[in-house]
């Protein structure tokens, strides 16, 4: 047994480098059972791409010194072969943090593709006598209460890890890693697992159910280092921290680290002040023209009636939405270029804003661009074929739905020609007089490794083609947009810490309000459940503007309240003919009036709710799990956004903002000059405070 200890924590490891005990000094061991392996590795040798190395099957030499340990394998054994690949697993104790790093020295005629390290071991509890929750960086964030039971209840996925959750980083699609860190927390204690990779290798965060015990969870990270023969690869650190306190300390530490590489830029003022994004598809993939250009002013009229101030026009081009990328042109049948420009100008004259869509990731394999040389810019899989994606926008037709998937190839963002094309397309969009461009998907998607030999991938590695290429691509678009006009906006889709730093606003993913009372039950932690937890990303990166994902031609009261609570920008989408018919018939007048009222309430306090910094619950004293409350601070003012997410009134007698003095309060229907006694069922409220003078 090998031990690292100081006045904060004690960690013990077995001879294979597996963590067997971790405890705050004076506390209990949080490791119910060690992981099956200290590390795992996969390498290609010859034509076999899956030679799997398990730590438990290796021979280790152990070095001790300087409050650090090193577990070294001079070579590794897989099931069918032994390879001259040396692995050094290092762990050092600094304060209450374990810093895990590793080295892979490859002298074999092999390619190391996968490397999984560290693996925490099976955690059942953290000391508060209740099952911990998982904080999971899926887009803006999720919380999984009673994570061990939740994992036990999942159906088996694959033999080695029968019950697990996983997300790729950076980015994904329906599920995607927005950050390199996750945590287990019971409200009183936190075990944070935090990557520190500034190269942003394609990787996967995984939480695995107990294989030796029930109702436990392992946290681990798999990176794709692509270590070639003759290469010495050194991993970036993973920081494992066990401490007393909630998750926000770990979030602040991650935010501070991200501040060392995350660039800052000035957003257009209209983006910062945008209340809502009214997303419209003018022409669908299957050819129906729903909103010709002369209807653009009408769309803005509808947007304003719902409390929105910006139009996002998708499918504005002749080919229709999700078709013929990147060969887009104005549609003559919808009115022609001049009509498009004229009607955008009318919206702007009324004080509104318009963005036009362009695809930044996909190439239609039937497009002229793709067939005439554009395919040279596609990401290529290890088979030498493109990473195809298919999108089908059928609505009523069963033929279209089942048999007409539109196939696209993915562009490799490391291709200089693609980067240059997207710069040109930024200027192309600005030429229509729009206020900005939304380049779809390049704010996330999967970190596809590209094997195209002619692309200048960072360090020559397929697993850096997406992240490092995207950084360059996004930076070029951001700079080009502001060279056109400081108020010309660059928007994109998905949520990540890396890519969001270059965009002015994100078309968000995995953002939908929880059911009534669900958040309160999740916070109580008595049942296994997954719920949206957007404060995870918002607390780390409050400067990022994000719209709620709302693919409906109406905005329910819960969606509006959800946006209000978290400082998200409103959104609704008109995608099909039925959507057009319904909104023109004013099918949901109650939703329309309520959304407008919420928007008006936010505008009234926008200097704090919009221009202020989201600080979550840091300055608030709130002990009622049914009362959801978040704080925003701007200078000497604090605005608390409250939502009574229950079916009964909630007393505000115990609600406090220590160090702040009540100024006024308001709901969508009332204003208060004195602190209200209660908040009605399902209602939202803003309470404005002024900072108390010290002394």
Residue 408 reports pLDDT greater than 80: yes
Task: State pLDDT tens for residues 21-38.
Answer: 999 988 899 999 999 999
CB 14 within 8 A of CB 20: yes
CATH H-level superfamily of 613-691: Golgi alpha-mannosidase II (2.60.40.1180)
Residue 158 reports pLDDT greater than 70: no
Angle ∠(52,57,58) on CA atoms, nearest 5: 95
The tokens of 267 are what?
């957003």
The CATH code of the domain at 269-360+416-602 is 3.20.20.80
Angle of the 557-566 helix axis to the 589-604 helix axis, nearest 10 = 20
Between the CA of residue 477 and those of 259, 355, 430, 459, what are the distances in Å?
Answer: 21, 15, 12, 23
pLDDT band at 162 (very low <50, low <70, confident <90, very high): low
Counting other chains too, the contacts that 101-105 makes at CB distance below 8 Å and 24 or more residues apart are 101/234, 101/235, 101/236, 101/237, 101/238, 102/39, 102/234, 102/235, 103/232, 103/233, 103/234, 103/235, 104/41, 104/225, 104/227, 104/232, 104/233, 104/235, 105/231, 105/232, 105/233
CATH 2.60.40.1180 region(s) of the chain?
A: 613-691
- pLDDT for the residue numbered 396: 86
CATH 3.20.20.80 region(s) of the chain?
A: 269-360+416-602
Residue 150: count of CB within 10 angstroms of its CB: 23
Q: Report the alpha-carbon distance of residue 120 to residue 36 in Å, rounded.
A: 10
Q: Which residue has the tokens 């598809």?
A: 281
- pLDDT for the residue numbered 161: 54
Angle ∠(529,534,538) on CA atoms, nearest 5: 150
CB 144 within 8 A of CB 133: yes
- Smallest Cα–Cα separation from 88: which of 158, 138, 38? 38
Q: Report the alpha-carbon distance of residue 381 to residue 233 in Å, rounded.
A: 23
Q: Report the alpha-carbon distance of residue 679 to residue 654 in Å, rounded.
A: 12
Coil, helix or strand at residue 86? strand
The tokens of 330 are what?
């104005």
Residue 159 reports pLDDT greater than 70: no
- Smallest Cα–Cα separation from 543: which of 213, 129, 263, 250? 263
In order, the DSSP letters of 642-656 are EEE-SSS-EE-TT-B
Between the CA of residue 446 and those of 365, 449, 494, what are the distances in Å?
Answer: 20, 9, 11
Number of residues written out for the chain: 695
What is the mean pLDDT of the segment spanning 485-512?
Answer: 95
Task: State pLDDT tens for residues 368-406.
Answer: 999 999 999 999 999 999 999 999 888 888 899 899 999
Tell which phi-psi region holds residue 155, choosing left (phi > 0), alpha (psi between -120 and 50) or beta: beta
pLDDT band at 355 (very low <50, low <70, confident <90, very high): very high
Residue 92 reports pLDDT greater than 90: yes
Residue 511 reports pLDDT greater than 90: no
DSSP state of 496: -
Higher pLDDT among residues 279 and 157, named by residue: 279
What is the mean pLDDT of the segment spanning 513-537?
Answer: 90
User: 492: which residues sit within 8 A by CB, 6+ positions away?
Assistant: 360, 438, 439, 440, 441, 442, 443, 474, 499, 503, 506, 507
- Cis, bond preceding 581 (omega within 30 deg of 0): no
DSSP state of 293: G
What is the mean pLDDT of the segment spanning 468-476?
Answer: 98
User: 309: which residues sit within 8 A by CB, 6+ positions away?
Assistant: 274, 275, 276, 303, 351, 352, 353
Residue 160 reports pLDDT greater than 90: no
- Residue 11: its H or E element: strand 9-13
- pLDDT for the residue numbered 625: 85
Query: 656 has which bridge partners?
Result: 621
- Smallest Cα–Cα separation from 657: which of 642, 679, 669, 672? 642
Q: Report the alpha-carbon distance of residue 9 to residue 98 in Å, rounded.
A: 9
Q: Report the alpha-carbon distance of residue 73 to residue 59 in Å, rounded.
A: 6
pLDDT band at 570 (very low <50, low <70, confident <90, very high): very high
- The terminus-to-terminus CA distance of the chain in angstroms comes to 55
Between the CA of residue 370 and those of 256, 280, 413, 456, what are the distances in Å?
Answer: 42, 27, 15, 20
Q: Report the alpha-carbon distance of residue 499 to residue 336 in Å, rounded.
A: 34
Query: 4 has which bridge partners?
Result: 11
Q: Considering the chain, what is the average pLDDT of its residues? A: 95
Task: State pLDDT tens for residues 34-86.
Answer: 999 999 999 999 999 999 999 999 999 999 998 999 999 999 999 999 999 99
Please, where are the H alpha helices in 146-288?
147-153, 248-258, 269-272
């Amino acid at each position: 047994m090998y031990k690292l200890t100081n006045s904060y924590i004690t960690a013990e490891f077995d001879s294979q480098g597996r963590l067997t005990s971790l405890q705050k000094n004076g506390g209990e061991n949080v490791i119910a059972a060690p992981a099956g392996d200290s590390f795992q590795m996969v390498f290609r040798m010859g034509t076999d791409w899956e030679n799997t190395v398990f730590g438990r099957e290796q021979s280790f030499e152990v070095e001790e010194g300087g409050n650090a340990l090193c577990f070294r394998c001079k070579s590794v054994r897989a099931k069918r072969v032994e390879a001259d690949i040396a692995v050094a697993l290092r762990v050092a104790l600094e304060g209450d943090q374990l810093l895990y790093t590793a080295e892979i020295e490859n002298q074999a005629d092999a390619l190391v593709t996968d490397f999984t390290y560290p693996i925490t071991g099976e955690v059942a509890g953290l000391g508060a006598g209740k099952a911990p929750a998982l904080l999971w960086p899926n887009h803006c964030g999720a919380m999984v209460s009673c994570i061990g039971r939740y994992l036990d209840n999942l159906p088996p996925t694959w033999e080695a890890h029968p019950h697990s959750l996983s997300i790729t980083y950076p980015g994904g699609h329906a599920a995607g890693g927005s950050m390199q860190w996750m945590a287990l927390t019971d409200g009183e204690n936190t075990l944070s697992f935090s990557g520190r990779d500034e190269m942003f290798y394609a990787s996967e965060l995984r939480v695995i159910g107990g294989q030796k015990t029930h109702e436990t969870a392992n946290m681990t990270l798999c990176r794709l280092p692509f270590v070639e023969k003759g290469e010495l690869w050194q991993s970036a650190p993973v920081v494992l921290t066990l401490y007393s306190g909630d998750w926000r300390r770990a979030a602040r530490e991650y935010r501070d680290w991200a501040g060392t590489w995350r660039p800052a830029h000035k957003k257009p003022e209209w983006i910062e002040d945008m209340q809502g994004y009214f997303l419209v598809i003018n022409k669908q993939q299957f050819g129906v023209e729903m909103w010709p250009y002369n209807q653009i002013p009408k769309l803005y009229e509808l947007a304003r009636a719902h409390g929105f101030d910006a139009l996002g026009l998708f499918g504005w081009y002749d080919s229709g939405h999700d078709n013929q990328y990147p060969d887009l042109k104005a549609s003559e049948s919808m009115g022609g270029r001049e009509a498009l420009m004229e009607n955008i100008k009318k919206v702007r004259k009324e004080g509104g804003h318009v963005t036009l869509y362009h695809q930044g990731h996909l190439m239609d394999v039937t497009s002229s661009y793709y067939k005439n040389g554009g395919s040279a810019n596609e990401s290529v899989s290890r088979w030498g074929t493109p990473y195809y994606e298919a999108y089908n926008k059928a609505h009523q037709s069963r033929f279209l739905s089942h048999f007409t998937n539109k196939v696209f190839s993915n562009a490799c963002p490391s291709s200089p020609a693609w980067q240059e094309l997207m710069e040109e397309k930024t200027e192309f969009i600005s030429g229509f007089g729009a206020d900005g461009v939304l380049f779809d998907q390049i704010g996330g998607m999967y970190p596809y490794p590209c094997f195209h030999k002619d692309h200048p991938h960072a360090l020559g590695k397929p697993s850096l083609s997406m992240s490092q290429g995207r950084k360059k691509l996004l930076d070029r678009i951001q700079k080009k947009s502001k060279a056109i006009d400081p108020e010309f906006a660059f928007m994109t889709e998905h949520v990540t810490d890396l890519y969001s730093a270059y965009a002015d606003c994100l078309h968000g993913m995995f953002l939908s309000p929880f059911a009534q009372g669900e958040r309160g039950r999740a916070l109580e932690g008595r049942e296994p459940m997954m719920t949206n937890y957007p404060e995870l990303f918002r607390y780390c990166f409050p400067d990022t503007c994000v719209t709620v994902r709302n693919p409906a031609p109406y905005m329910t009261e819960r969606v509006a309240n959800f946006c209000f609570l978290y400082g998200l920008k409103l959104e609704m989408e008109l995608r099909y003919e039925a959507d057009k018919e319904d909104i023109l018939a004013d099918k949901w007048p109650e939703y329309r009036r309520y959304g407008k009222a919420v928007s008006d309430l936010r505008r009234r306090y926008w200097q704090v709710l919009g221009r202020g910094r989201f600080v979550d619950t840091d300055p608030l004293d709130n002990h009622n799990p049914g009362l959801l409350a978040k704080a925003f601070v701007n200078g000497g003012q604090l605005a608390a956004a409250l939502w009574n997410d229950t079916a009964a009134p909630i007393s505000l007698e115990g609600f406090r903002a220590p160090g702040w003095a009540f100024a006024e309060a308001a709901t969508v229907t009332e204003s208060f000059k004195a602190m209200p006694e209660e908040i009605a069922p399902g209602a939202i409220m803003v309470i404005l405070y002024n900072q108390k003078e010290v002394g």
